[in-house]
Amino acid sequence: MARADVVGTRLAPLSPIEVATSRPIGLDRSRPILGEVAAATPRAAFRDTVRAALEHGPCIVSFSGGRDSSAVLATAVSVARAEGLPLPIPATLNFPGIEESHESEWQDLVLDHLGVTDRLQYSLSTEMDALGESARELLTAFGVVWPFNTHLHGVICKDTAGGTLLTGFGGDELAASSSTRWAAKALANRRTLTPRKVISIAHFGSPRPLRYLADLPSSRPDREDFPWLTRKGLAQATHQWAANSSTIPMGWGKVLREWVPRSRYFEMVKQSMGDLGSLHDVNVRHPFVEPSVLQAFAHHSPFVGMPGRRAIMQLLVGDLLPPEVVTRTSKASFTPSLWNGESREFAQEWDGTGLDESLVRPDIVKREWLGSDPTVHSLSLLQQAWLHSHKIGAVV
């Protein structure tokens, strides 16, 4: 059932086109924007967020060995040692049969550097399938959630009962959220203006209807990624993606204070992870996108924004991690773990019902699922079809 503490504040369920593309779209304008005044620097705000989790332990850190989770873990260890709090416990998912998920060398490098020996390790095979036990539990309780791999944290949440789980969600997005930074930088340094920069400035400074029209061509979904979309589905996705793009304001500070806190993309992740946590009495937090951290970054670099991921990492944890981790660009993939069990069986037996046929073609969807390497863009459709086949409606 829906969590009592969020009744009345829940996002609208995924729309049919959001299910068809596995992508939340648009803003929830009922959600407040953040104030311009920050109470701390980005690093201090990040540490404060982590400290709160340590004080409501046990504190488990979802740790893949990537930059974002390493930054969260390093900060948690630093704060715990400085203030005499129990050390956080890193939790790692291992999929021995999936080569692209292997991160043991990076994990060992970080843990050795931090001097952390206690950890949780889960060796998994088919348990994390998109229709596996953990996924079915979440789908049955809340309907289609996003992201479709939220359930990957299910096994970790079971061992975090009564405590707090920290994730690295938002690190990638925080760095990429400055999509207007190039134009803002050009506007801030007008002595180097070029025709291309002027066009970019004019684009982001134009009224929304004009930006929408300008963004339409680049917003059309790629047929290779979404081969199942009907003509109506393509048109609807193009329209909504362009409309969403046209809402991104000029200036990184505004993006972080006004756009990110109301974005369905960010808020849907937080809601779905919160729902998963509620099944196991776990408080889930994402330090990179906590309001105080967003405010601090917005205040730190209000217009042009940070120059990139490396600068963000240096600012937050440059002295806490090995240099090669801070500057790393590679990333593991856990996608194959979602297609190695019940999903294949369900796809074989699926009768083609349960999807919006005005937007998607069931025959092409099924062909995609039965292929050797199904795209993750079809996973929300898979979970929607499973719910329909079991006559389970979304709980809101």
Q: DSSP characters for 259-312?
A: IGGGBHHHHHHHHHHHHHHHTTT-EEE-GGG-HHHHHHHHHHSSSS--S-HHHH
Q: What are phi and psi of 107, to 5 degrees?
A: -60, -45
Confidence of residue 277 (pLDDT cuts 50, 70, 90): very high
The mean per-residue pLDDT over the stretch 120-137 comes to 90
Q: CA dist 188 to 2, 185, 305, Å?
A: 47, 5, 11
Q: What is the pLDDT, as a whole number, of residue 179?
A: 61
CA distance 356 to 192: 50
Whole-model pTM? Answer: 0.90
Torsion angle, CA of 105/70/272/122, rounded to 10 degrees? Answer: 40
Give the residue with greater pLDDT, 388 vs 185: 388
User: Which runs of consecutive H residues, i.e. helices, occur in the chain?
Assistant: 16-21, 42-54, 67-83, 104-114, 133-142, 154-158, 171-176, 181-188, 195-205, 208-219, 231-245, 252-254, 264-278, 291-300, 309-317, 323-326, 342-349, 362-369, 379-389
Residue that has been written with the tokens 């046209």 in this structure: 246
What one-letter code names the amino acid at 230?
T
CA distance 68 to 256: 18
Q: What are phi and psi of 271, to 5 degrees?
A: -65, -45
Q: Which has the minimum average pLDDT: 144-148, 305-309, 311-315?
A: 305-309
**In the chain, pLDDT over 90 holds for what percent of residues?**
73
Give the residue with greater pLDDT, 15 vs 193: 15
Instruction: Give me the chain's average pLDDT, please.
Output: 89
The mean per-residue pLDDT over the stretch 97-124 comes to 86
What one-letter code names the amino acid at 220?
R
Q: What is the pLDDT, as a whole number, of residue 127?
A: 81
C-alpha radius of gyration, the chain, whole number: 21
Q: What is the pLDDT, as a whole number, of residue 39?
A: 84
The mean per-residue pLDDT over the stretch 228-248 comes to 96
Torsion angle, CA of 328/333/334/337, rounded to 10 degrees? Answer: -150
Q: What is the pLDDT, as a whole number, of residue 190?
A: 62
Per-residue pLDDT tens over the stretch 29-73: 999 999 988 889 999 999 999 999 999 989 999 999 999 999 999
Residue that has been written with the tokens 């795209």 in this structure: 375
Give the residue with greater pLDDT, 339 vs 385: 385
CA distance 361 to 72: 42
The mean per-residue pLDDT over the stretch 275-302 comes to 95
The mean per-residue pLDDT over the stretch 381-395 comes to 86
Preceding peptide of 147 cis, ω within 30°: yes
Residue 123, SS3 per DSSP: strand
Angle, vertex CA 181, rays to CA 178 and CA 182, nearest 5: 135
Confidence of residue 189 (pLDDT cuts 50, 70, 90): low
Give which of 237, 243, 248, 174 is closest to 215, Cα–Cα. 243
| Ranges 4-13, 211-220, 296-305, most confident | 211-220
**In the chain, pLDDT over 70 holds for what percent of residues?**
90
Which tokens go with 379? 């996973």
Evaluated on CA atoms 142, 143, 147, 148, the torsion sign reads: positive
Preceding peptide of 287 cis, ω within 30°: no
Evaluated on CA atoms 297, 199, 209, 188, the torsion sign reads: positive
On whether the CB atoms of residues 252 and 15 are closer than 8 A, the answer is no
Residue 320, SS3 per DSSP: coil
Q: What is the pLDDT, as a whole number, of residue 5?
A: 40
On whether the CB atoms of residues 378 and 148 are closer than 8 A, the answer is no
Burial level of 267, CB count in 10 A (0-12/13-18/19+)?
A: buried
Give the residue with greater pLDDT, 333 vs 72: 72
Q: What is the pLDDT, as a whole number, of residue 27?
A: 96
On whether the CB atoms of residues 266 and 49 are closer than 8 A, the answer is no
Checking if the pLDDT of 394 tops 50, the result is: no
Q: What is the pLDDT, as a whole number, of residue 119?
A: 95
Give the residue with greater pLDDT, 57 vs 21: 21
Q: What is the pLDDT, as a whole number, of residue 188?
A: 64
Per-residue pLDDT tens over the stretch 72-105: 999 999 999 999 999 999 999 988 766 655 688 9
Checking if the pLDDT of 331 tops 80, the result is: no
